[in-house]
Structure 1
């Protein structure tokens, strides 16, 4: 029997932003059939509860400034597990190809001759847009959306195309930017974005523990500084934030109090 027939298979699966109801049907089916699950820190406990009892679970999660399992080791682990004939589920928060290093893992699998399948997931910005009522685009407010990372390697400067990002008709969805929120705001304002541009920070988006914090660009840093660094935070910047469901309810309640005052 050739080596190809005794090899396992790696499924790179996007687990979405946390709510298990947002998993794709294919993702759920493969998770329930997994023999080994290699998972990130941001995969929610509710989704991990779907993993079969007998499956091996390997936590390779990274936290800000704390990477106990380097990416090169994760790549090698996937190759090793599949080479032993295992059906491996590589479970990632959001989508494997959206700031998830899925393409790096795929490149390693290709080089090693390991078969793989990528199963897309709902990325955080999409899930949070639906959960909060903030559309990523809206006629008259945002003609486009940009997904950017607010994280950089230790010792490196956050180098983004600030002039291109500072477009008042574009929604910015900033991943992993909590620790650099003040710098991001200052650079965007310096590039021409209004200081009073609406902004929203969502903690644990789509989960039961979700928190929504509304502010403006010039106060983004101070709001971000008060959030728990261990919990995932997505920042959305743009006029579309004014359409948030929670914000509308809050403003209506404030007007009602004034009317009865």
Structure 2
């Protein structure tokens, strides 16, 4: 099978398992059921375009109304244009507006330290509501070297953190890093290194904390911009490309 996988005749799947989530009233049901809902919404609503109100039936609506789950508003994450491309400055400013609202207006960090020299060349992602295009979240991605990437400035407006948008932004960063590494010649099965100097203040939501996505602390806690930070690192494997 290894020979077939290498030749492209078959695809070697990642390690996985299928579980039955706990029954009604049992511990852990709501959290795992929310993960089922996340998959369904990603496929049927965000990918295939079916209205959210069709995907969510009466039983799911009851859970949402009771607070057991949060139904996210329609949204889209976009990569803003690269340096020199049309529209970059306007969309980058929208990323800045979200960060200023979170880090400066909400958390009290000085405005002069929020925008730095890395913003000029970094890759920025913007989370917007649709169809209004209201900006509500952002994350910044930087290539450190051919096999290392850094995420930072992860922020989601306070009113929208209950929808776990921080998770979506982190996974968008992961997808971008894999794609960029592939374009630069990384082979399937190889690993790239991810890191983030994560602050002690939550800027997105509890589900976005890097420990949930394979990140581990490296080194001692340090002070950055007057707040304690901890460098978090992870290794991400380049999956096999079905088109290669």
TM-score bracket for this pair, using the shorter chain length:
under 0.3
Q: TM-score, normalised by structure 1?
A: 0.24
Q: TM-score, normalised by structure 2?
A: 0.25
Which structure is larger by alpha-carbon Rg, 1 or 2?
Answer: 1
Structure number with higher relative contact order (C-alpha < 8 Å, ≥ 6 residues apart): 1
